[in-house]
């Protein structure tokens, strides 16, 4: 492989040079937008929380290897998942020394479907189209995450109650971790440029400060109420039994009223995750 543009003097591979060596251009129709701003790529691994175990870093969407290169400098071992067969082959060739040394393993496949390995942390520039399923696969693993999303998705993931962005994604993410946006990335940092801004999210796993007996029912109940986010909780419970799985929503309304009538008058967007947990407990006891 030859390229007239050298990689950086510090030894990091230049993302534009990588893309040329790979012989590819991004394809928006296939959700391919390559992050090519080396200053941003350099910063991303540094957003891992202090003290993170970097023995095995997972990268989803290895692309042409700009971030892969930085992760190999951050961690002892990296697994990169790449769905494009030609890019997976390029990563194995470009990083052949690291592959042979057992420091890089390239998995060819769709990260929504392949078995994820055990990993100590995940740092990834995710394709926009799989943001939600990948986030929901990673969050239950309780590992530090640094993920790049479309900015709108990132803001919903990190939102607080009583804000316009707060919703099902916010409650679900907040159940598993503390989530914060650490950097906004302009479209000009990508090639080809997307039509929207992106944002880097840092996820610090932690246990929730409440208990739920059935986590699956908790998430179903939250999902159900947010389909009626402009309705009161009272009406939401009554109207969404087909989503939440309640067999007797009126019994749930009566039980909640006996404990906290104010909860029934609230709207889902104002409830903290702990309040959803309290409602779920009552619903499980009286309406299933």
The strand pairing partners of 105, in sequence order, are 79
Cα–Cα distance measured from residue 80 to residue 59, given in angstroms and rounded to the nearest whole number: 5
Cα–Cα distance measured from residue 110 to residue 41, given in angstroms and rounded to the nearest whole number: 23
Which residues are CB-contacts of 287 (< 8 A; sequence separation ≥ 6)?
A: 237, 241, 246, 247, 248, 249, 251, 252, 255
Q: What DSSP string runs through 210-242? A: S--S-HHHHHHHHHHHHTTTTS-HHHHHHH-HH
Cα–Cα distance measured from residue 126 to residue 20, given in angstroms and rounded to the nearest whole number: 21
Q: Write down the residue that tokens 């009126």 correspond to.
A: 250
Check if 15-205 and 215-286 are the same fold: no
Give phi and psi for 82, each to the nearest 5. -140, 125
Binding residue positions: 33, 35, 61, 82, 110, 125
What value, to the nearest 5°, has the Cα angle with vertex 83 and ends 101 and 94?
35
Q: Which CATH number fits domain 215-286: 1.10.8, 3.30.160, 1.10.1740, 2.60.40?
A: 1.10.8
Domain spanning 15-205: which CATH class is it, in words?
A: alpha beta
Q: Write down the residue that tokens 């009554």 correspond to.
A: 238
Helix, strand, coil percentages (3-state) for the chain, rounded to 5, are: 45, 15, 40
pLDDT, position 10: 56
158: left (phi over 0), alpha (psi -120 to 50) or beta: alpha
Binding residue positions for S-adenosyl-L-methionine: 33, 35, 61, 82, 110, 125
pLDDT, position 28: 72
Domain boundaries in the chain?
15-205, 215-286
Long-range residue pairs from 23-27, CB within 8 A, at least 24 positions apart, any chain: 24/64, 24/86, 24/87, 24/90, 25/191, 25/192, 26/190, 26/191, 26/192, 27/192
Q: Write down the residue that tokens 């990335």 correspond to.
A: 185
Strands (E), 34-169: 34-35, 57-60, 78-82, 104-108, 121-125, 145-150
pTM over 0.85: yes
pLDDT, position 11: 74
pLDDT in tens, the chain (288 residues): 334 344 554 579 999 999 999 998 877 777 778 999 999 999 999 999 999 999 999 999 999 999 999 999 999 999 999 999 999 999 999 999 999 999 999 999 999 999 999 999 999 999 888 999 999 999 999 999 999 999 999 999 999 999 999 999 999 999 999 999 999 999 999 988 999 999 999 999 999 999 998 999 999 999 999 999 999 999 999 999 999 999 999 999 999 999 999 999 999 999 999 999 999 999 999 998
Total count of residues recorded for the chain:
288
pLDDT, position 7: 58
């Amino acid at each position: 492989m030859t390229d007239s543009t050298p990689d950086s003097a510090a030894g990091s591979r230049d993302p534009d040079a990588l893309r040329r060596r790979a012989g590819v251009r991004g394809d928006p129709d296939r959700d391919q937008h390559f992050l090519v701003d080396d200053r941003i790529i350099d910063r991303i691994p540094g957003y891992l929380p202090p003290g993170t175990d970097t023995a095995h870093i997972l990268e989803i969407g290895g692309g042409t290897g700009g971030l892969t290169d930085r992760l190999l400098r951050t961690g002892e071992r990296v697994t990169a998942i790449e769905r494009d067969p030609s890019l997976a082959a390029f990563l194995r060739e470009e990083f052949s020394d690291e592959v042979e040394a057992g420091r890089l393993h390239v998995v060819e496949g769709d990260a929504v479907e392949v078995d994820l390995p055990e990993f100590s942390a995940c740092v990834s520039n995710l394709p926009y189209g799989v943001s939600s399923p990948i986030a929901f696969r990673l969050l239950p693993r309780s590992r530090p995450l640094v993920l790049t999303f479309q900015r709108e998705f990132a803001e919903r993931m990190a939102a607080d109650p009583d804000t316009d962005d707060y919703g099902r994604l916010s409650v679900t993410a907040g159940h598993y971790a503390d989530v914060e946006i650490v950097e906004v990335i302009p479209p000009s940092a990508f090639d080809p440029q997307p039509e929207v801004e992106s944002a880097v999210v840092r996820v610090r796993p932690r246990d929730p400060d409440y208990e739920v007996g059935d986590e699956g029912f908790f998430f179903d109940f939250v999902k159900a109420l947010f389909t009626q986010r402009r309705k009161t909780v009272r009406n939401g419970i009554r109207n969404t039994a087909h989503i939440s799985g309640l067999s007797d929503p009126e019994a749930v309304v009566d039980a909640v009223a006996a404990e906290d009538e104010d909860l029934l008058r609230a709207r889902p967007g104002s409830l903290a995750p702990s309040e959803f947990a309290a409602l779920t407990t009552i619903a499980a006891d009286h309406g299933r």
